[in-house]
Structure 1
């Protein structure tokens, strides 16, 4: 675990236990923390809580009130918290299936959703199944049983469908035209690398490691232009100039085509 986060995550689990009591079955560091790729100043803190059953709205409201940044300051860009029922976490479902989702932080817009019906489909409902797949592989237990026991892996066909849906969602996002450097384009490129690696090699890797894996093993896909694009994206994660949006989009389209053969 990233040491600067340890006191915060310890307090988060304590607060969650005070609110949920015996209903709290587990707490897990996900995302970059789970993948041992947390980058101070850039990464969010992703946490998944597992509860025994459906949350009463009053309890869910109390959890949000106690964990939002104003009550428990997040030392990172922000906290992305998702609460799942135990049966959902263990089911391997591709459906969102969450009880509460909270985004909060000094550099993150506050947002709370009480179930998938409150989240606009345009914002993507594929994230949750993919996140639970990453949790199954690499989640760090802060409380409760190991993440591999708390979260089931998705069926291969469901995983592929969600990965492809995610790539198409990213392609629908507007990007600057031409060769203008586009902040965030590096994450689009490296996120596409991570999708490719997961479906071709069966493992979730941090974005930078996924970019390097693609360059090392993609064969014809890793031509000179792709190598330059991926390397530039890796450097941008440490403050370098991001790649042009148009180049990032063209790369995403190539990855999508490689993962969806006719």
Structure 2
């Protein structure tokens, strides 16, 4: 982990303890930090806080005020922080279920969401259960019990449905027309790689690691290699080829979503 990020997380946890007191059960790093794939200048810092009891409005706002970038500068592109009750974190629910969500940083639009119902459906409700699944497997414990004891996976059917929702959401985003390089297409390709590895192998990998695993198994090596290189400054693939790959992955993921799986969070 980057040294600046390590110190930042220490201070973030200290401030969270000051605001939440004995209600704070644990704090956990997720995303690229927990998957040992943090890339300075590109990656976010993802943090989950777990509390024993629901947070009231003033406490949520005080927490946001103490942790937003203007009060605690984030050394990464931005901070994505979500607080959950422990019963929600350990339930395996596909629903968002958060107490408060904060997005903040030098290169990230500020957002504070105080109720799941206030999260716009167009922004996706699938993120939270997928993040909790990654935390269950690989969460980095900053405070409290081990992440695997606190967070639970959704059911296999719900997981496939959530992954399909995430792929469909990404496909619905505007993409530059034509066969020229499309900034961001590399993340779309590698995100699809990660979803495909999770479905096939039952394991969460960092995006680049997932891409490399698929190359070794005969997936479209040129497209994936160019997507990996684009994360280090190379030209991204075109939107056309990225979308074709995403559609193929979505078809494989969605083909085995059982009709009896829990309702998709929208």
Give the TM-score taking structure 2 as reference length.
Answer: 0.94
Structure 2 counterpart of 1:70: 70
Contact 1:2 1:36 in 2 (8 A): no
SS of structure 1 residue aligned to 2:17: helix
What is the deviation of 1:160? 0.7
1:237 correspondence with 2:231:
yes
What is the CA deviation profile of residues 184-219 of structure 1, one whole-angstrom value per residue up to 9, with x for unaligned ones?
1100000000000000001000000000111112x4
- The one-character-per-residue Cα deviations of 1:117-175 (angstroms, maximum 9, x if unpaired) are 11100000000000000000000000000000010111111111100110111111110
Deviation at 1:4, TM superposition (A): 2.7
Offset at 1:45?
0.3
- Does 1:227 find its partner at 2:221? yes
1:173 aligns with 2:173: yes
Number of aligned positions between the proteins: 256
Q: What runs of 5+ residues in structure 1 fail to find an aligned partner?
A: none
| Residue 53 of structure 1, CA deviation | 1.2
Tell me which residue corresponds to 1:249: 243
The question of whether the paired residues in 1 share the 8 Å contact of 2:102 and 2:113 is answered with yes
3-state DSSP of counterpart to 1:17: helix
Residue 256 of structure 1 deviates from its aligned partner by: 1.1
CA distance, structure 1, for counterparts of residue 234 and residue 215 of structure 2: 19
Give distance in 2, aligned partners of 1:167 and 1:175.
Answer: 14
| Structure 2: stretches of 5+ with no match in the other structure | 257-266
Shift of 1:249: 0.5
Cα displacement string for residues 41-88 of structure 1 (whole angstroms, at most 9, x for unaligned residues):
000000000011110100000000000000000000000000000100
Residue equivalent to 1:202: 202
TM-align CA RMSD = 1.0
SS in 2 for 1:209: helix
Cα distance in 2 between the residues matched to 1:213 and 1:115: 38
Pairing 1:112-151 to 2, within 5 Å after superposition? 112-151=112-151
After TM superposition, the score normalised by the length of structure 1 is 0.96
Contact 1:167–1:192 under 8 Å retained in 2: yes
Give the Cα separation in 2 of the matches to 1:121 and 1:135. 23
Distance 1:100 1:126 in 2: 16
Q: Partner residue of 2:252?
A: 258
Q: What CA distance in whole angstroms lies between the structure 1 residues aligned with 2:116 and 2:186?
A: 29
Separation (CA, whole Å) in 2 of partners of 1:120 and 1:260: 24
2:208 counterpart of 1:214: no
Q: Tell me the distance in 2 between the aligned counterparts of 1:102 and 1:259.
A: 30
